[in-house]
């Protein structure tokens, strides 16, 4: 009888347990809207590991000095944190990158020897947008001294909370344009030279961008993320995400993110963190219901000037995130934290798959040049535009209800998703480019972009295409004056180049980027961003007819094949 009673009790408990699990599964998922965040979401930490935002009730953000102090405190709590200095700014401030790894890693060589990929996370390229910077400290804390440490079994994480160190410390009272009242005091968008660092990815004009690119060249991150704030919006998402959209880039990494990574991470953010996130875009303004959801309206273009877009030209994964401005500072930090953590968890579970996709993009880029450049059949895109991916259901608020975002947004059906980058103009990809010796500065600029450039040790005779400049002019686009060249490519011609000329073999993984930078009519390559202005003006380019009433030759030659090498 006793055994029978025990069996009945065990059966009863199993039934009750199963019912509880079933009820839990059937309960609706809690989604946090407006300013809401779950209680205690950031955990309990000793004073020295609390961020400035946490210590001030989310009323302030950190300075660069406070960042250095916080990193020093974290190092005392974890042996998994090392730092590298990316650069010293024009105002003599150091921009640190935390390297978080288990076992610890202090150099690119050690990272490569580990076999683990590097994931690079960056904030405060625009200091009035400090949400990602603050979230990245919490990410670093969780990875090195908290419950997320198992992620380090699969990857090395580099974290740069403050990229624009000079702008961060140039503190001013905010003007309210960001939507929220906190933090009241913020850094400025530009660096100390009043330049926007997120428009310097092609021309590499600033100390900061050059320091960043040296770091990227050395560590070769598999994935780069850059965190931002979008200011006032009418959509209903806690955070938005996008990837590179330059049509000249290898499509593999972008398609993987759009079709596989982004949907999975979006679902993880929803189920683990209770937030809705979606594509980095904006709806049709001043209209209800909105008819279109567009990258263009969010100032995300097909140009390479943005660091995320430019990094995609390297056959790697690149992500931009932008949270709305209206919610509280804590909510905005939580939104970035949630997305980054969900992303890291995904990457840690799919490391081999993502490494294989990046490697295939490298291999396919080289194979395409070897198979199609010499016979003139290989082309790539100079420009592009966004077209429809089809219809989507969009979460959005009606005009006038945005500030109050206290409840759930409305679901707007049949909105046109204008986020598909499509190439619109193309040109032939050469087997190589040749630059005259006097363009040593351009050769060095290419090397800073991780392009392999060699110096000819003996003269060569080559056959290829020469671009004839008929007009050099300036066009205003996206708020910037861009150089444009009108002209035509010749049929195949023969040219001799002396020893000392620079030779860029296109059979390398950076071929797509090299093509985009050097082509005379690329939308925003070296020509567009004035990198070649001095050389072109020295040749006499300008005006309707070029030099002295006659067209002139573009100084960079497109090689189809080598005819003779001494």
281-292 CB burial, b ≥16 within 10 A, e <16: bbbbeeeeebeb
Cα distance between residue 287 and residue 302, in whole Å:
25
pTM of the model: 0.93
**Banded pLDDT at 19 (limits 50, 70, 90):** very low
3-state secondary structure of 462: strand
Q: Residue holding tokens 């995904």? A: 346
pLDDT confidence bin for 13, thresholds 50/70/90 = very low
> Stretch 142-168: mean pLDDT, rounded?
97
The token pair at 426 is 């193309």
Sorted by sequence, the CB contacts under 8 Å of residue 415 that are 6+ apart come out as 283, 289, 290, 291, 292, 293, 391, 392, 393, 394
23 pLDDT above the threshold of 80: no
Minimal CA–CA distance to 327: which of 137, 181, 174, 184? 181
483 token code pair: 């150089």
Kindly report, residue by residue over 344-389, the tens digit of the pLDDT: 999 999 999 999 999 999 999 999 999 999 999 999 999 999 999 9
Report the distance separating Cα 538 and Cα 291, nearest Å. 50
Q: What is the mean pLDDT of residues 186-201?
A: 97
Specify the DSSP element, H or E, that contains 514: helix 511-518
Look at residue 401 and tell me whether its pLDDT is greater than 60.
Answer: no
Residue 556 has a CB neighbour count (10 Å cut-off) of 24
Task: Return the H-helix or E-strand segment holding 9.
Answer: helix 2-26
Q: In whole angstroms, what is the distance from residue 243 CA to residue 229 CA?
A: 16
**Structural tokens at position 444:** 């060095």
Contacts of residue 182, defined as CB under 8 A and 6 or more positions apart, other chains included, come to 58, 59, 328, 329
Nearest to 145, CA basis, from 55, 80, 52 = 80
Q: Tell me, what's the pLDDT at 6?
A: 41
What pLDDT, on the 0 to 100 scale, is given for residue 541?
A: 66
Question: Would strands 317-324 and 239-243 be described as parallel, antiparallel, or unpaired?
Answer: antiparallel
Residue 330 has pLDDT above 60, yes or no: yes
Strands (DSSP E) contained in 140-231 are: 156-160, 172-173, 185-186, 223-231
| pLDDT of amino acid 26 | 46
Q: Which of 125, 165, 121, 163 is nearest to 139 (CA)?
A: 121
Mind listing the domains of the chain with CATH numbers? Answer: 47-423 (3.40.630.10), 430-565 (no CATH)
Cα separations (Å) of 373 from 125, 224, 502? 38, 30, 19
Q: Give the E-state strand segments of 111-171 in sequence order.
A: 118-122, 156-160
Percent residues over pLDDT 90 in the chain? 86
pLDDT band, residue 415 (cuts 50/70/90):
very high
Q: How far apart are CA 178 and CA 160, in angstroms?
A: 23
* pLDDT recorded at residue 28: 63
pLDDT in tens, 33-87: 999 999 999 999 999 999 999 999 999 999 999 999 999 999 999 999 999 999 9
Q: Among 168, 180, 126, which residue's Cα sits nearest to residue 324?
A: 180
Instruction: Give the model confidence (pLDDT) of 501-560 as tens digits.
Output: 999 999 999 999 999 999 999 999 999 999 999 999 888 766 544 445 578 999 999 999
193 pLDDT band (50/70/90 cuts)? very high
Token pair 């797509």 is found at: 512
Average pLDDT over residues 138-156: 97
Residue 247: cis peptide before it, omega within 30 degrees of 0: no
Q: Write the DSSP assignment of 429-442 as a string of letters.
A: PPSEEEE-GGGHHH
Reported as a pLDDT band with limits 50, 70 and 90, residue 285 is confident
Torsion of Cα atoms, 281 then 284 then 289 then 291, to 10°: -90
Predicted local distance difference test score (pLDDT) of residue 176: 80
Which residue in 314, 307, 136, 304 sits closest to 217, CA to CA?
314
CB 382 within 8 A of CB 425: yes
Going 97 to 102 to 106 to 108, the CA torsion angle's sign is negative
Whether the CB-CB separation of 419 and 295 falls below 8 Å is answered with yes
Give tens-digit pLDDT for 239-260.
999 999 999 999 999 999 999 9
pLDDT averaged over every residue in the chain: 92
Chain centroid, CA 182 distance in Å: 26
- pLDDT, one tens digit per residue, over 428-473 is 999 999 999 999 999 999 999 999 999 999 999 999 999 999 999 9
If you ran DSSP here, which 8-state letter would residue 284 be given? P
> Cα separation of 480 and 199, whole Å?
10
Return the pLDDT at 111.
98
The strand pairing partners of 225, in sequence order, are 121, 319
Print burial letters for 69-101: b (CB count within 10 Å at least 16), e (below 16).
ebbeebeebbebbbbbebbebeeebebbbbbbb
């Amino acid at each position: 009888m006793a055994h029978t009673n025990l069996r009945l009790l065990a059966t009863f408990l199993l039934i009750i347990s199963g019912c509880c699990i079933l009820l839990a599964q059937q309960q609706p998922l809690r989604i946090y809207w407006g300013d809401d965040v779950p209680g205690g979401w950031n955990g309990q930490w000793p004073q020295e590991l609390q961020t400035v935002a946490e210590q001030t009730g989310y009323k302030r953000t950190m300075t660069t000095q406070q960042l250095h102090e916080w990193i020093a405190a974290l190092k005392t709590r974890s042996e998994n944190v090392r730092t590298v200095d990316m650069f010293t700014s024009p105002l003599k401030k150091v921009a640190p990158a935390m390297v978080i790894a288990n076992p610890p890693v202090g150099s690119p060589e050690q990272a490569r020897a580990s076999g683990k990929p590097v994931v690079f996370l960056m904030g405060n390229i625009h200091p009035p947008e400090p949400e990602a910077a603050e979230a990245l400290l919490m990410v670093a804390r969780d990875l090195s001294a908290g419950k997320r440490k198992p992620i380090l079994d699969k990857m090395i994480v580099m974290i740069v909370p403050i990229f624009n160190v000079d702008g961060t410390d140039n503190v001013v009272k905010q003007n309210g344009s960001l939507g929220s009242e906190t933090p009241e005091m913020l850094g400025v968008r530009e660096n100390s030279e009043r330049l926007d660092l997120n428009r310097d990815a092609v021309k590499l004009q600033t100390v900061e961008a050059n320091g960043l690119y040296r770091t990227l060249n050395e560590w070769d991150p598999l994935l780069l993320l850059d965190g931002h704030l979008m200011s006032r919006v009418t959509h209903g998402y806690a955070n938005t995400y996008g990837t590179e959209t330059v049509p000249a880039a290898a499509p593999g990494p972008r398609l993987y993110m759009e079709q596989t990574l982004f949907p999975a991470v979006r679902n993880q953010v929803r189920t683990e963190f209770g937030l809705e996130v979606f594509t980095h875009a904006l709806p049709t303004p001043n209209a209800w219901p909105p008819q279109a959801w567009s990258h263009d309206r969010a100032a995300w273009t097909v140009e390479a000037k943005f660091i995320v877009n430019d990094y995609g030209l390297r056959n790697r994964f690149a992500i931009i995130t932008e949270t709305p401005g209206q919610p509280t500072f804590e909510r905005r930090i939580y939104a970035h934290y949630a997305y980054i953590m969900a992303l890291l968890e995904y990457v840690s579970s799919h490391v081999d798959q993502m490494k294989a996709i990046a490697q295939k993009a490298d291999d396919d880029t080289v194979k395409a040049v070897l198979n199609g450049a010499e016979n003139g059949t290989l082309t790539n895109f100079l420009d592009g535009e966004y077209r429809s991916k089809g219809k989507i259901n969009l979460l959005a608020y009606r005009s006038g209800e945005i500030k109050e975002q206290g409840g759930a947004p409305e679901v707007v059906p049949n909105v046109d998703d204008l986020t598909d980058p499509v190439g619109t103009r193309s040109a032939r990809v050469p087997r190589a480019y040749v630059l005259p010796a006097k363009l040593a500065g351009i050769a060095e600029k290419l090397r800073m972009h991780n392009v392999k450039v060699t110096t000819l040790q003996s003269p060569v005779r080559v056959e290829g295409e020469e671009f004839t400049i008929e007009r050099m002019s300036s066009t205003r686009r996206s708020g910037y004056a861009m150089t444009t060249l009108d002209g035509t490519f010749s049929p195949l011609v023969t040219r001799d180049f002396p020893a000392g000329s620079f030779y860029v073999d296109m059979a390398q993984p950076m071929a797509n980027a090299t093509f985009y930078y050097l082509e005379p009519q690329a939308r925003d390559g070296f020509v567009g961003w004035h990198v070649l202005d001095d050389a072109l003006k020295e040749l006499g380019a300008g005006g309707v007819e070029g030099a002295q009433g006659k067209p002139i030759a573009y100084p960079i030659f497109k090689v189809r094949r080598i005819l003779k090498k001494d």
